[in-house]
Amino acid sequence: MHPAAEHSPLGKSSEYIATYTPSLLFPIPRTAKWAELGVTAQTLPWHGVDYWNCFELSWLLPSGKPVVAIGEFAIPADSPNIIESKSFKLYLNSLNQTVFASLAELQACLVKDLSGAAGKPVAVQVRTLDEVQAQGVVALPGQCIDELDVTIDNYEHPQPQLLRCDPQLIVEQTVHSHLLKSNCPVTGQPDWGSVVVEYKGSALDHASLLTYLISFRQHADFHEQCVERIYLDLKNLLQPEHLTVYARYVRRGGLDINPYRSTRPISPANVRLVRQ
């Protein structure tokens, strides 16, 4: 478990406060998990963003009438902190009985508080239900590898030694799997996700990638660190010209978390999958 997470609201009974309380946000430094992966804030081998989508965003108009909307929060992948997910939910619920004179005032408040917790500017969009409904859901790009016939005998820890490639064959391709699962390192609750690998480099053996992804099934880690581990293991293996790894996770507590990591600067579209 991340040492800071022991003091977070995760896994504990919490009072749900319905009036604005920014102190509920609980930042967790990324440095400890980066150290496990052999990187530092000064040597990060990726660009990226963590998209958080909130489906339980509500506040009051000056008339007292409530509003509901969907929040989209883009946290830079190199921010000093992640925001612990339950504290994020508690903070958002503290807006429920809080009056904001305008959407701009709400958005400015969210930017200030979330940027302060993350340690870098967080981009915020507050979207109407009609806007999100019109966007619909999308399919992941590239080839799905989930129907490959593989034998699995490890679910406890990621197994990068399972990965195989052909260094004599350079390809550019995109593959995806819906079989990513890990567990919250604090509560043990399952985190379900779909993962995409886009790269140009040594041809990756798809069956080995699938068995590797399934080896995360009982692994305990946060969403962001799972994606960073996958990214680094593939980067080390493929020596790619470019590589992007991202995961779209199923929401829990009204929030979904979607980390993107890439060898080059990216501004990906924040689209929803059928499980989201």
Strand partners, 249: 193
Specify the 3-state DSSP secondary structure of 49. Answer: strand
Amino acid present at 116 = G
Q: Are 244 and 225 in contact (CB under 8 A)?
A: no
Q: Which two tokens stand for residue 210?
A: 């699938």
Q: Are 243 and 199 in contact (CB under 8 A)?
A: yes
Q: How far apart are CA 3 and CA 185, in angstroms?
A: 11
Q: Are 107 and 140 in contact (CB under 8 A)?
A: no
Is 165 one of the catalytic residues? no
Distance of alpha carbon 177 from its chain centroid, rounded?
Answer: 16
Is 146 one of the catalytic residues? no
Catalytic residue among 50, 54, 113, 184: 184
DSSP state of 97: T
* Closest residue by Cα to residue 36 from 186, 195, 221: 221
Q: How far apart are CA 128 and CA 115, in angstroms?
A: 22
Q: Are 27 and 81 in contact (CB under 8 A)?
A: yes
Catalytic residue among 191, 221, 233, 256: 191
CA R_g for the chain: 19
Q: Are 99 and 61 in contact (CB under 8 A)?
A: yes
Q: Which two tokens stand for residue 69?
A: 């909307």
Burial of 45 (C-beta count, 10 Å sphere; 0-12/13-18/19+) = middle
Q: Which two tokens stand for residue 100?
A: 């904001």
Active site residues: 184, 191
